[in-house]
Amino acid sequence: MTFPFGVTYYPDQWPKETRDKTFAEIKKAGFNLVRFGEMAWDWIEPQPGKFHFVELDHALDLCAKHGIKVLLGIPTSQVPPWFHRKYKNSRPVAQDGTLYPDYGPRPNVCKDNIYYRKHAENMAKKLVVRYKNHPALFMWQVDNEPVYPPLDHTTSNDYCHCEHSRQAFIAWAKKKHGSLKKLNEVWGTKFWTNTFSSFEDITTPKAGIWEAVSPHIFLDWFRFKTDSIKDWVSHLAKIVKQIDPHHKVGTNGFIGICTRVPEHDLIPENLDWYGLDVYPTGNQMQESDYAFALDFWRSFTRGTRAEFHITELQGGQNVRWGKPAYVEGPEMKKWTKMALEHGAKCLLFHAWRPPLFGAETGGFGILQQDGSSTKRLEAVKEIAKKIENRKSLVVGRRSKIAIAYLRSSEVQSYQEQGPPRSIAGQWETVRTDIGLLHTILSIQGAYRALYKRNQSIDFIFERDLDSGTLPYKVIILPNAYLLSKKQYNHLKKWVENGGTLITDARFGLKDENGHLYKHPLIEDLLGVKYEYTIPIPEGFLDRLKGKPKKLQIITKKLDQGKVCYANFSLFLELKKSNPKWIKVLARLVSLPSKC
Amino acid sequence: MTFPFGVTYYPDQWPKETRDKTFAEIKKAGFNLVRFGEMAWDWIEPQPGKFHFVELDHALDLCAKHGIKVLLGIPTSQVPPWFHRKYKNSRPVAQDGTLYPDYGPRPNVCKDNIYYRKHAENMAKKLVVRYKNHPALFMWQVDNEPVYPPLDHTTSNDYCHCEHSRQAFIAWAKKKHGSLKKLNEVWGTKFWTNTFSSFEDITTPKAGIWEAVSPHIFLDWFRFKTDSIKDWVSHLAKIVKQIDPHHKVGTNGFIGICTRVPEHDLIPENLDWYGLDVYPTGNQMQESDYAFALDFWRSFTRGTRAEFHITELQGGQNVRWGKPAYVEGPEMKKWTKMALEHGAKCLLFHAWRPPLFGAETGGFGILQQDGSSTKRLEAVKEIAKKIENRKSLVVGRRSKIAIAYLRSSEVQSYQEQGPPRSIAGQWETVRTDIGLLHTILSIQGAYRALYKRNQSIDFIFERDLDSGTLPYKVIILPNAYLLSKKQYNHLKKWVENGGTLITDARFGLKDENGHLYKHPLIEDLLGVKYEYTIPIPEGFLDRLKGKPKKLQIITKKLDQGKVCYANFSLFLELKKSNPKWIKVLARLVSLPSKC
Amino acid sequence: MTFPFGVTYYPDQWPKETRDKTFAEIKKAGFNLVRFGEMAWDWIEPQPGKFHFVELDHALDLCAKHGIKVLLGIPTSQVPPWFHRKYKNSRPVAQDGTLYPDYGPRPNVCKDNIYYRKHAENMAKKLVVRYKNHPALFMWQVDNEPVYPPLDHTTSNDYCHCEHSRQAFIAWAKKKHGSLKKLNEVWGTKFWTNTFSSFEDITTPKAGIWEAVSPHIFLDWFRFKTDSIKDWVSHLAKIVKQIDPHHKVGTNGFIGICTRVPEHDLIPENLDWYGLDVYPTGNQMQESDYAFALDFWRSFTRGTRAEFHITELQGGQNVRWGKPAYVEGPEMKKWTKMALEHGAKCLLFHAWRPPLFGAETGGFGILQQDGSSTKRLEAVKEIAKKIENRKSLVVGRRSKIAIAYLRSSEVQSYQEQGPPRSIAGQWETVRTDIGLLHTILSIQGAYRALYKRNQSIDFIFERDLDSGTLPYKVIILPNAYLLSKKQYNHLKKWVENGGTLITDARFGLKDENGHLYKHPLIEDLLGVKYEYTIPIPEGFLDRLKGKPKKLQIITKKLDQGKVCYANFSLFLELKKSNPKWIKVLARLVSLPSKC
């Protein structure tokens, strides 16, 4: 089969009479795939229950005519304005009670909303029934960037707190913890008289970041939202597959604003592909940052049935968010080459033509706004020629080094440190001495340091530590603040069997629920006595009994393996590109047996 | 007639027994006019429907006795507390749903509120009937600074979003666009599934500034608010004129916080005067900034029946907002002289005496707080002597140079760039690389540069470009980002007939609705091929095909005239007082034939 | 009796089976007192009306067994989650209408809420009846830090504005002002048409800080909240005393975020002790700042029946708020010594053991998190040995110098200057040229300057100026912006009888309601003519007629005493540790007769 190489193009946003010519041009550019539909609920169901397929038929038929396949989006990410007229109390709710906008920003509906789910399911069924046998259909996309939380211009913190979410959160907590007694214990509700005496007492954790909310509830709140999104994606995929078992189903996501959103590693069992949306100049990425994104996403799909796709690769000037940086053209060739080298099985640019209206006016177009050619189009044509012979480009590989991303530690670090907060005239900010992105900056720091040395890198996640399947020579484990006993035992055994573990401050201070261990796991691992941790300008410093207070790396042989433990936030230092520590890491990694 | 020279003095805020003496002193200082009433609703209608005129009669009678005329304010700007008791849901609503305060800050009511309008109309009728023949009456003021949006201490963004405003916005949109089809097209609602399938679906644009709201709806929202205020002012003026056709009616406004408010150029046909409120030291104005304010306001009134007045000129120390800077006295003479030179037909200082209580305690008084004399009073006396012979001061003039202020471009630039927004730990701000006040800073920059060269300047507005009446030799046109075809054609014709147009980056990229032109108008004007625009540290840089990327000014003869186009934000550079570009502008302006 | 020397330990947060051993260890460490209960409503009344005393009995019995006394807290500071299920509309309300969280942050209920009061009263009765004769009972604590306002992560401004508070505010205002006429006069409601025509019109002052709310209403709002809290504490104490007249009753508080909270000087007549909670490293205190806190709190209790206690002295690493600074151990000895030297009659550390869960995980423990010993425990043991012979430590003293803290001036200064406010693109901040903490920084400045010279210092308050009992040689009076005639007359008389008054800019500009005096009191005091005040980089500068504009100190003999008046904010200069002004103050203070 040809390598699926495509582009986004929204036929609903352009005059009907221009479509034939446009698809012809897309084909001529060398694309074999086009993506649309995922934001077009109003186009397909302009009034509740009144479906309008003429236009979509027309677009798909034209694609078939021109020999282009379609990645067809099922548009459930945003609801049309009629939804909010029909269901008055369905705007997403911020943690402080503010209602998010009913149109404009996205998403404008909570995925836990049962009325939304009903209409979305119906949309999925209708669309799949109609187009499952269409010759142009290549695969399905459900939702669009489902991890994206509702945002308004003042809020940057959290997910929807509506009554639907509250009920779903209660049900989730009931299922997870079984009894109120257990739930209260895990959530540490005895602190400040928060014991729930009925499941009905439970509300979503408000003011969730800084001011004294239980860190344990906050962890579960983020886990609930992850599960809720994952289940919803799975549910949509199941609906699609029941009607059409023959086409692949997937969805997409992005990296960034990581701490504000639940686990991006949310691939349900029935998903066939998981696509990365990536905007290198919009996000001001260095080459290593872009490689990081590719390896991170590839690692998400590792061990799942889902293929690693690039669903949106920046095709033109960025607008609306991030940096409005331009794309000249030639850089697109390098981006494509790297994507394939890192394992992408499908690649689409975003987008064919810059929209002339809307919130992203003028953005992302391969073509000029008047439809004329650009150096970007020339680049696409060159890519198209090479990509047919894709085998030569794709490098199959298995890394010997893994960097672990521990989501629970990230969430907990964020919750404890909170967003910068000023209390008028008293404190400028609270605990900004530490910083907010402990884990993400740490793993980026480690990745950058190793990327320069051409190391091949996998990312691993809590699921890997849980399973204990760790086929690596070296594991880099930053900010392992929360670590379950099970995860720890797997790690320790892996070291004893010959692994080299490189880790840093706060190793195993807390369990998976954010409760302090009486004896931090580092004590068992190194045979030391932990005293306390203090913040230092860059991160944290652990104090061990009898050891000097200064920054140091302690190494210890464990049977056939070795632990290298920095008593400070080593990987945050790497993010700053501190050459001293880059050199140290390189040494630890390249010479594991002498570490 | 004597030049109307007055001062604000609120008789309701001082003991009744002191009024006689006070008016005598005001007269003795040389004032022939006093202004009061505009904030005294509670004084005149202390209970709903219960009018209390004894006090007002007394104040007016005393004025008559002392030979002072009265600029009588009809107090509809703020409602008394009883209004919010009577109409429970009448507090103004912020875009995020927050209710604005019911008392304290102003305004505390939405001008679209129909209950407010009913009471305000009644107040206007009652007052005009009673005082239309009073010998002291000089003219009427309706409302007070009607452009002022509701503010609380956290919000700086927008107008009221109450249900009254929503209904009025729908009616306005229906009238403007006729059909839903047309409205959806103009508002670009196909983007992100926002198509309105019923007029009833329409809500006011929330989170309006940054996060993905339609820029087209946002433009219309600002236009609606302008029209709504203008119509209301017109409606009040009509009520007054129906009862009293003999006295002038006007209202006042201010410059500043320009981007947050609708068009200040909101003079309805039936308004006789439009007054500027200006606080030179409170706003830390340089001399040229004060001159700018005068010319800007004078230009608002150009072509209307409304006279240019100064309704409030700072008379004492600033308080509450801006800089609490003092006024010594002598500077008041210069301010007056300049006001008259720039065409003011009436001038009042604010205020006679500093209030001893309230939110502006101690502010703005010509007198000392104990009522004793000051150097400011001495200045007033000197001014009063000269102002009688005002003919010698007022310079009639018609500028050869105009600076165009394009409100639509300003609103669009603001909406696209948004207020600084921080997303915890990820982006410090979004697109502050450009800045928020593109147009206003640009025209101030151009004005400052020319002011130093003693150029006489008019400001022109979209209405002037719409009409095509452009009696100038040179037009300076910054940030002409949005330009209708009609405006463009008028401009081009004017150039061809001998005009010199000086403009800068982003010329004619968008039409009047904020849709991108496929072919930006600069292509037609200069016969070039536009490629793209990128942000640079100060503003924007246009890239033209085949032209070097650097900052440059391209001039082109067009029949008998000439266009000078800077491919960068030239006028923002001027605001920074960059001497290089000041020199360039001076050359372009002073030598138009060789430009 | 032994000196009461104790520690916080929450038996509800630890396994039942560990309690016996823990109390034995606490005793062994040398403590004779343990504090718990104050946050344990959910432990004692897990369901509304269902009381559960078995656990509490157990804890108290164990204390008795080990010979430890108990400071038993009556847990009414936070309500359990069932309260908000039972009373749906009982979440505290921010001034902009935002509802504060129902659990997590504290407090989660408004003390004006009548349903809360009913349940809290019941809790107090039940607890006192049950334990009044328990052999371990030492004394009662009602509430916990009752001055603490509801907080969420975005709000730092104000107290609860719920309907209960509104009704209580109206009742308070009716009682204070008697008639609407008087209330409107005092509140200056004529300004901007805010006259209340019915008591029912009154709402709590919203947007209270900056934007144009009446400063007079704002003063009364803060006074109301102080009185409301004080009355509630008194009411709880009365309930306790009616049932148990034999044990002392008190409550606790803290210094910091002073401007946001009402008067901390809120000791009702029936309170037996008032405890300070103080965290020297958490608040990054210098030695003199800690001494300041001690003297300030001691001064609160002066002239009341309440003893000065230290209810919480930092016993371990700070967490959650402030700086997460560590406590090594030895510094605890110095803190204790100073506390006793400054008059503390009881001292408890916070806390015995760091919690393993909750919002303060790992914080404040004397022990290590695994329960093992630390240098802090060693320090405690040393302290325990010395404290038995406490007579030698406690220095009885009466200061000759007093620093006056004028709460009304502080509130007014804060309200007028407001929190930093940015209006997008226009003003960076409003009036930050002055600063927000005028009074508190001033008195800290004066204290620091004198502390270095080993001066013994009392603080005095408005109540002292009101009574006229001023047994000092020198009074330092910063920011005497608001001063009633009565307070002034007492001060003047005291000077005439031989006192030395050292004061600074803005002396007596306003009366106790925040109305400007026509003739500022400084005119009478010094026989000068006041002109105006302007902000300068550090504070304010008064201009006096005929005097040069520069910074100066004017001294004047008044009969047998002397006034030293700085025409600028002298004490803010001291806070900056400006050596010039420290020297001047030292001279003025040490040589009063030659000042």
HEC states along A470-502?
Answer: CCCCEEEECCCCECCHHHHHHHHHHHHCCCEEE
Name the residue type at position A50. K
pLDDT of residue A421: 47
- Looking at the predicted structure, is the pLDDT value of residue A594 above 50? no
Q: Does B135 touch chain C if contact means CB atoms closer than 8 Å?
A: no
Chain A CA closest to residue C151: A211
Size of interface A-B (CB pairs under 8 A): 176
CA distance A137 to chain C (A): 49
pLDDT of residue B390: 67
What SS3 class is residue B133? coil
Q: Which of C111, C243, C100, C88 has its CA nearest to residue C165?
A: C111
How confident is the model at residue B424, as a pLDDT?
41
C359 touches chain A (CB under 8 A): yes
Sheet of B457-461: strand order equals B457-461, B401-405, B474-477, B500-503, B561-566, B553-558
Tell me which amino acid residue C491 is. Answer: L
Say which residues have a Cβ less than 8 Å from residue B31's Cβ, sequence separation at least 6: B5, B6, B7, B68, B380, B384
A256 at the B interface (CB within 8 A)?
yes
The reported pLDDT for the residue numbered A549 is 86
Residues from chain B contacting residue C215 (CB–CB below 8 Å): 358-359, 361
Q: What is the pLDDT of residue B422?
A: 46
CA distances for A520 relative to A169, A544, B498, C361, angstroms: 31, 11, 83, 14
**Chain C, window 314-343: residues with a beta carbon less than 8 angstroms from a chain A beta carbon:** 317, 320-326
Do the interacting molecules here have an ipTM over 0.95? no
Residue C403 pLDDT: 96
Put simply, the chain A residues between 476 and 535 with a CB less than 8 A from any chain B CB are: none
Neighbours of B454 (CB within 10 A): 6
CB B35 within 8 A of CB B273: no
Residue B191 C-alpha from the chain's centroid: 33
C540 interfaces chain A, CB cutoff of 8 Å = no
- Interchain proximity A213–C82, CB inside 8 Å: no
CB atoms near residue C3 (< 10 Å): 20
How far is the C-alpha of A95 from the C-alpha of A160, rounded, in Å?
Answer: 7
pLDDT band at residue A261 under the 50/70/90 scheme: low
Chain A from 417 to 456: CB within 8 A of any B CB = 419-420, 435-437
Distances (CA, A) of C482 to A303, C515, C572: 72, 9, 17
**Do A206 and C104 lie within an 8 Å CB cutoff?**
yes
Please indicate if any CB of chain C lies within 8 Å of the CB of A192: yes
Q: Model confidence over A272-307: pLDDT tens digits?
A: 999 999 999 988 899 999 999 999 999 999 999 999
- Establish if C194 touches chain B: CB-CB under 8 angstroms: yes
Q: What is the DSSP letter of B396?
A: P
pLDDT in tens, A448-488: 888 877 678 999 999 999 999 999 999 999 999 999 999 99
**B209, closest residue in chain C (CA to CA):** C424
Least confident of A126-135, A321-330, C161-170, C392-401: C392-401
Residues of C in Cβ contact (< 8 Å) with B360: 191
Provide, as residue numbers in chain B, all residues whose Cβ is less than 8 Å from the Cβ of A78. 192-194
Contact flag B154-C96 (C-beta cutoff 8 Å): yes
Asked if A327 contacts A351 with a C-beta cutoff of 8 angstroms, the reply is: no
Write out chain C's pLDDT in tens, 595 residues.
689 999 999 999 999 999 999 999 999 999 999 999 999 999 999 999 999 999 999 999 999 999 999 999 999 999 999 999 999 999 999 888 888 889 988 889 999 999 999 999 999 999 999 999 999 999 999 999 998 877 655 545 568 999 999 999 999 999 999 999 999 999 999 999 999 999 999 999 985 545 667 889 989 998 999 999 999 999 999 999 999 999 999 999 988 655 555 677 789 999 999 999 999 998 889 999 999 999 999 999 999 999 999 999 999 998 877 778 899 999 999 999 999 999 999 999 999 999 999 989 999 999 999 999 999 999 999 999 998 776 544 454 568 999 999 999 988 887 777 554 444 444 444 444 455 678 888 998 899 888 877 678 999 999 999 999 999 999 999 999 999 999 999 999 999 999 999 999 999 999 999 999 999 999 999 999 999 999 888 889 999 999 998 999 999 999 999 999 999 999 988 877 778 888 888 888 874 433 3
Question: Which of B183, B192, B412 has the highest number of chain A CBs within 10 A, making it the mutation to test binding with A?
Answer: B192
Answer whether B101 sits within 8 Å of C519, measured CB to CB: no
Chain C: residue whose CA lies nearest to B15: C185
Query: What pTM does this model have?
Result: 0.94
| Cα maximum dimension of chain B | 79
Q: Which of A340-344, A383-387, A441-445, C122-126 has the lowest mean pLDDT?
A: A441-445
Rounded-to-integer distance, Cα A535 and Cα A564, Å = 21
Give the mean pLDDT of A102-114.
92
The answer for residues whose C-beta is within 8 angstroms of residue B234's C-beta and 6 or more apart is B268, B269, B270, B271
Distance in Å, alpha carbon of B527 to nearest chain A alpha carbon: 15
Q: Kindly report, residue by residue over C386-427, the tens digit of the pLDDT.
A: 987 765 444 545 689 999 999 999 888 877 775 544 444 444
What is the residue type of A58?
A: H
Q: Average pLDDT for consecutive 10-residue bins of chain B (595 residues)?
A: 93 96 98 97 97 97 98 97 95 88 89 98 98 98 90 62 97 98 97 95 76 85 93 98 98 74 82 97 90 94 95 93 87 96 95 95 94 97 87 59 93 72 43 63 89 84 96 96 98 97 97 97 97 88 94 96 96 82 84 38
**Which residues of chain C make contact with A189, given a CB cutoff of 8 A?**
42
Cα separation, B26 vs B410, whole angstroms: 43
Determine the residue type at C169: F
Beta strands in C425-560 (DSSP E): 457-461, 474-477, 500-503, 530-536, 539-544, 553-558
- Tell me which residue in B96, B190, B191 faces A152 most closely, judged by beta carbons: B96
Confidence (pLDDT) at A582: 85
Taking an 8 Å cut-off on Cβ atoms, the answer to whether C194 and B82 are in contact is no
Between A209 and A531, the higher pLDDT residue: A531
> Cβ contacts (< 8 Å) between B419 and chain A: which residues?
153
Q: Name the H helices within A244-369.
A: 287-301, 331-341
Nearest CB to C358; choose among A192, A205, A421: A192
Q: Which of A155, A185, A211, A219 is the best residue to mutate to test the C interface, defined by the most C CB atoms within 10 Å of its own CB?
A: A211
Interface test with A, best of B157, B180, B211 (most A CBs within 10 A): B211
Q: Are residues A207 and C105, on separate chains, in Cβ contact within 8 Å?
A: yes
- The answer to whether the bond into B107 is cis (omega within 30° of 0) is yes
CA distances from A438 to A443, A535, B174, B252, B410 (A): 9, 12, 52, 54, 40
What is the per-residue pLDDT for A422?
A: 46
Q: Which of C104, C157, C360 is facing A207, going by the closest CB pair?
A: C104
Which residue of chain B is at minimal alpha-carbon distance from A14? B190
Show residues of chain B in contact with C200, CB under 8 Å.
85
From C80, C101, C357, residue closest to A193, measured CB to CB: C80
- CA-based nearest residue in chain A for residue C87: A201
Query: CA dihedral in degrees (A312, A314, A320, A321; nearest 10)?
Result: 80
Of A326, A355, A371, the CB nearest to B191: A355
What share of residues in chain A are helix, strand, coil (percent, to 5)?
40, 15, 45
- Helical packing angle, A438-451 and A287-301, nearest 10°: 110
Q: Nearest CA to CA, how far is C323 from chain B (Å)?
A: 20
Q: Which of C325, C371, C419 sits opposite A424 (nearest CB)?
A: C419
Q: What is the rounded CA–CA span in Å between residue A84 and residue A90?
A: 6
Q: What share of chain C is helix, strand, coil (3-state, %, to 5)?
A: 40, 15, 45
CA nearest B145: which of B113, B101, B169, B111?
Answer: B111
